Amino acid sequence: MEAFTQHIGTAAPLRRSNVDTDQIIPAVYLKRVTRTGFEDGLFAAWRNDPSFVLNQPEYDGVSVLVAGPDFGTGSSREHAVWALLDYGFRVVVSSRFGDIFRGNSGKAGLLAALVTQDVVEQLWTTIEADPGTKVTVDLENKTISAGDVSAPFEIDDYTRYRLLNGLDDVGITLSHADEIAAYEATRPSFKPATLPAKA
Amino acid sequence: MGRTLSEKVWDAHVVRHADGEPDLLYIDLHLVHEVTSPQAFDGLRLAGRPVRRPDLTIATEDHNVPTYDVDKPIADPVSRTQVDTLRKNAEEFGIRIHTLGDPDQGVVHVIGPQLGLTQPGMTVVCGDSHTSTHGAFGAIAFGIGTSEVEHVLATQTLMQARPKTMAVTVDGVLPDGVSAKDLVLALIAKVGTGGGQGYIVEYRGEAIRALSMEARMTICNMSIEWGAKAGMIAPDETTFAYLQDKPHAPQGVDWEAAVEYWKSLATDEDATFDREVVLRAEDIAPFVTWGTNPGQGIPLSENVPSPDDFDNENDKVAAERALEYMGLTAGTPMREIHVDTVFLGSCTNGRIEDLRAAAGVLAGRKVAEGTRMLVVPGSGRVRLQAEAEGLDRIFKDAGAEWRGAGCSMCLGMNPDQLAPGERSASTSNRNFEGRQGKGGRTHLVSPLVAAATAVTGTLAAPADLPPVDVAVPENV
Ligand code: SF4
């Protein structure tokens, strides 16, 4: 996974609350068996609408999404994060995220930056006034700035540490293989196993 | 100080704890399906890693399989690829799989309990948010994303921050004709779709204790719909009786030891929760959703709300958008809303008791003209059981379609979908925009309301129907 320290890019305002993962990527786009190529499914239902924000030429090439509260609620599909990444987003900003979405983001290298709704509103105003505004997201210092707006964002320390170092979860855990084996030795015999199969 | 049910189960699974880091939690059972697993297996292959515990892993195909002509090749090429990929991965990594046509194929959350693989005090995960279903047994069960699926396959553990605890206490007795589904829809309307965020919820109180295992699964299933990490119910005699004759239940001395352990899991008298919510069962009536999230629900007896009924600006805007999407006018009685399609099924309400409840309403009645009804058992075994009880005949005689097992119309991923603008009464768990097909409009309902709605063609409860004079088979 690529390390994330600082990101500078333009942003799109998504003035909607409760954007669940079915809106981020509808189920019909989940059928791929590879890890990439999900950009077409991103906000698919809304992208047919010419007035949708990502269809505006001034928001071409954006890499930061500033969304309303409760972004990424609903289904656990990690494809929602992949679709955002495949489209080109590196950062999503909101005042509240779905739990699973936030977890999935950190693991795939998408920064979910939690700010107050006040900051979201300020960012919206700034971006809409000038869509070319560069947004700087500094993970080292946990700050986000754009034009006159400068604010701290929240992210849990562990996710931040991993993003900063580009660490992969499985590798970290396998370094504790001895402890896993020791735990397994203590599991009671009544715990079920799927094999051999019984019917 | 005492501990809660969830704290006891959590503590028993901590492999490694370090201050300031998430706990490394051992996973007792990993359920796998075709949609969220291919990239996880891909990841293992790329890194040259094996599955650590194939004997704690089980796979089935459910999300995008068709529910008719299941003996023919899957027509949709992408769905076929996913299903074939799962079959190949299961073989390559030595994982047990139940494929189309097998009695233990079906919705992954119906399979675990029916095989007796879901037991109290376990940790259960699956790349599907409704994994919370398994919490009905007193297990910590939650949905994970694909990279976590890969993590569990490779390590049989997950890194997890310890959630806060919440108690939802339902006192009293549910009125006649009011089911677990109504209860949980009413709860979500009260606390909001984000109300459970960061919590493992324990459902308790007299009304919860009185529920069957399957009704408890319906409640826990919907935990994610109000944002909870997981939902749990303490194991009791109802749980043990349900498990006793299941294929993978412990045997002999193991059974004795297991029951003794399971009994120790109940929340201690002196334990405290971070948050408590109390509901009175008597206040709950048949409940339906009018909007596009599961919190936008009201009693069936009420009228479609107006955006002006909401104080909060976000709720107002959300209501406006929802009414527009749903094609509804504020003030319309819910009972006057015409429904095109009734869907009975899913991991929320696709088990045998749900089918029995609906069949009890449909016996001697007909599905209304202009309305279609799909009955989709949650698993092959549920289907066989229903056929043995004659429920399939009741459904078919009423004019409903009797299907094979799968997720079906719960989500628009397989051939069972709503057309744009089509309106459903659905026993599933999500009424999000487009969930059941692009432009489809979903009202979440209980199996009883689903069946009554099929008869009248408008949202209805069984009590609204004129009586019929038929002999209803036993069990119904
Ligand atoms: S029935 Fe619906 S909610 Fe349940 S696993 Fe299938 S798609 Fe998910």
Task: Please compute, for residue A31, the number of CA atoms within 13 A of its CA located in the half-sphere on the CB side.
Answer: 19
CA B180 from chain centre, in angstroms, equals 11
User: Total domain count for chain A?
Assistant: 1
Which ligand 1 atom is the nearest neighbour of the CA of B410?
2
| Closest residue of chain A to B40, computed from CA coordinates | A35
Q: What mean pLDDT do residues A110-118 have?
A: 97
Asked whether the beta carbons of residue B227 and residue A99 sit closer than 8 angstroms, the reply is yes
Binding site as annotated, residues of B for [4Fe-4S] cluster: 347, 407, 410
pLDDT band for A172, please (50, 70, 90 cuts). Answer: confident
Residue B206 pLDDT exceeds 90: yes
Whether A177 maps to a domain, the answer reads: yes
Is residue A99 assigned to a domain?
yes
- Ligand 1 binding pocket, CB closer than 6 Å: B 62-63, 107-109, 128, 130, 346-347, 407, 410-411, 428-429
Residue A196 lies in a domain: no
Angle (nearest 5°) at CA B286 between B241 and B358: 55
CA atoms of B59 and B63, how far apart (whole Å)? 12
d(CA B149, CA B137): 22
Report yes or no on A68 lying in a domain: yes
Structure tokens belonging to residue B104: 């233990």
pLDDT of amino acid B384: 97
Residue in B with minimal Cα distance to A34: B39
Same fold, B5-275 and B289-464: yes
**A30, closest residue in chain B (CA to CA):** B35
* Domain B289-464, CATH: 3.30.499.10
Interchain pair B154, A173: CB under 8 A? yes
Q: Could A76 and B145 be called an inter-chain contact, meaning their C-beta atoms sit closer than 8 Å?
A: yes
Nearest CA to ligand 1 atom 2: B410
Q: Taking a C-beta distance cutoff of 8 angstroms, is the pair A110, A84 a contact?
A: yes
Structure tokens of B406? 């799968």
Q: Does residue A195 form part of some domain?
A: no
Residue A2: the pLDDT is 75
Q: Is the dihedral angle over the CA atoms B132, B136, B140, B141 positive or is it negative?
A: negative
Provide, as residue numbers in chain A, all residues whose Cβ is less than 8 Å from the Cβ of B27. Answer: none
Q: Does B42 touch chain A (CB under 8 A)?
A: yes
Q: What percent of chain B has pLDDT over 70?
A: 99
pLDDT at A165: 87
Across the interface, do A192 and B26 touch by the CB < 8 Å criterion? no
Window B:348-407, CB contacts with A under 8 Å: none
Residue whose CA is at the smallest distance from ligand 1 atom 4: B347
Nearest-angstrom CA–CA distance, B316 and B186: 19
pLDDT at B473 over 70: no
Q: How many residues does chain A have?
A: 199
Which amino acid makes up residue A14? Answer: L
Contact partners, residue A128, CB within 8 Å, separation at least 6: A13
- Please give the Cα distance from B103 to A58 (Å, whole number): 55
Q: Where are the beta strands (DSSP E) in B291-448?
A: 297-299, 341-344, 372-375, 401-402, 423-426, 441-444
The distance of A177 to chain B (nearest Cα, Å) reads: 8
Query: How many angstroms separate the CA atoms of B15 and B24, rounded?
Result: 5
If one counts every other C-beta atom within 10 angstroms of the C-beta of residue B95, the result is 23
Binding residue numbers of B: 347, 407, 410
Question: Ligand 1 centroid to B84 CA: how many Å?
Answer: 20
Residue A52 has pLDDT above 80, yes or no: yes
A143 in contact with B at a CB cutoff of 8 Å? no
**Whole-angstrom Cα distance, residue B314 to residue B321?**
11
Nearest-CA distance from B366 to chain A in Å?
33
pLDDT digits (tens, 9 = 90+) for B291-349: 999 999 999 999 999 999 999 998 999 999 999 999 999 999 999 999 999 999 999 99
Most informative mutation of B34, B65, B107, B133 for ligand 1 (most atoms within 8 A of CB): B107
Residue B1 confidence (pLDDT): 85
What residues of A are in contact with residue B145 (Cβ under 8 Å)?
A: 76-78, 81, 100, 103-104, 107
Give me A194's structure tokens. 């799927």
- Which of B24, B58, B432 is opposite residue A20, by nearest beta carbon? B432
Q: Torsions phi, psi of B98, nearest 5?
A: -115, 115
- The answer to whether the Cβ–Cβ distance between B438 and A26 falls below 8 Å is yes
Any idea which residue has 């890019």 for tokens? A9
Kind plus residue range of the DSSP H or E element containing A150 = strand A149-152
Query: Tell me: the pLDDT tens digits for B28-62?
Result: 999 999 999 999 998 898 789 999 999 999 999 99
Does A178 lie at the interface with B, CB-CB under 8 angstroms? Answer: no
Q: Per-residue confidence at A76, pLDDT binned at 50, 70, 90? A: confident
Residues of B in contact with A73 (CB under 8 A): 193-194, 227
The pLDDT value given to residue A31: 74
- Whether the CA torsion B333, B439, B368, B106 is positive or negative: it is negative
Instruction: Please give the pLDDT value at position B323.
Output: 98
**Residue to test with chain B: of A99, A172, A174, most B Cβ within 10 A:** A99
State the CATH number of the domain containing residue A87: 3.20.19.10
Q: Is A181 on the interface with B (CB under 8 A)?
A: no
> Mind telling me how many Å the CA of A103 is from chain B's nearest CA?
8
Residue of higher predicted confidence among B342 and A103? B342
What CATH number was assigned to the domain covering residues B5-275? 3.30.499.10
For residue A13, being part of any structural domain is answered with yes
Helix or strand or coil: residue B296? coil
Mutate one of A40, A49, A81, A190 to test the B interface: name it (highest B CB count within 10 A).
A190
Record the tokens describing residue A66, joined without a space. 């500033």
- First-to-last C-alpha distance (Å) of chain A: 42
N- to C-terminal Cα distance for chain B? 46
Question: Does the residue A46 lie in any domain?
Answer: yes
Q: Which residue of A has its CA nearest to B85?
A: A33
Helix (H) or strand (E) holding A138, with range, is strand A134-138
> Residue A197 falls within a domain, yes or no?
no
CA B300 to chain centre: 21
Query: If you average pLDDT over residues B376-403, what whole number do you get?
Result: 98
Query: Chain A within 8 Å of B24 (Cβ-Cβ)?
Result: yes
- Tell me whether residues A26 and B434 touch, CB distance under 8 A: yes
pLDDT at B475: 62
The complex's ipTM? 0.93
B88's CB contacts (< 8 A; 6+ apart) are none
Q: How confident is the model at residue B69 (pLDDT cuts 50, 70, 90)?
A: confident
| Ligand 1 center from residue A75 Cα (angstroms) | 10
- Cβ contacts from A onto B, under 8 A: 196
Cα gap B39→B53, rounded to integer Å: 18
CB contact under 8 A, B22 and A28: no
pLDDT higher than 70, residue B474: no
Q: What is the structure's pLDDT at B469? A: 76
- A129's CB contacts (< 8 A; 6+ apart) are A147
Task: Read off the pLDDT of residues B93-149 as tens digits, 9 standing for 90 and up.
Answer: 999 999 999 999 999 999 999 999 999 999 999 999 999 999 999 999 999 988 899
Contact A100 B49 (CB under 8 A): no
| Side-chain half-sphere exposure of B272, counting CA atoms within 13 A | 2
Structural contact between residues B132 and B115, judged by C-beta atoms closer than 8 angstroms:
no
Does the pLDDT at position A24 exceed 90?
Answer: yes
Q: What is the pLDDT of residues A176-196, one digit of tens each?
A: 999 999 999 999 999 999 999
Contacts of A68 in chain B (CB under 8 A): 314
pLDDT confidence tier of residue A28, bands split at 50, 70 and 90:
confident
Longest dimension (CA), chain B: 66
How far lies B158's CA from each of A35, A173, A192, B367, B376, in Å? Answer: 21, 8, 19, 47, 33
Q: A27 vs B24: CB contact, 8 Å cut-off? A: no
**What is d(CA B346, CA B467) in angstroms, rounded to the nearest whole number?**
29
The residues, ordered by sequence, that sit 6+ positions from B91 with a Cβ below 8 Å of its Cβ are none
Within 8 A by CB and 6+ apart from A171, the residues are none
- Full residue range of the structural domain in which residue A117 is found: 6-184
Distance from CA of A13 to the nearest CA of B (A): 17
User: Domain locations in chain B?
Assistant: 5-275, 289-464
For residue B379, the one-letter residue type is S
CB B412 within 8 A of CB B350: no
Cβ(A68)–Cβ(A16) under 8 Å?
yes
* Nearest-angstrom CA–CA distance, B90 and A20: 31
Burial of A48 (0-12, 13-18, 19+ CB in 10 A): exposed
Measured CA to CA, the distance from residue A64 to residue A70 in angstroms comes to 17
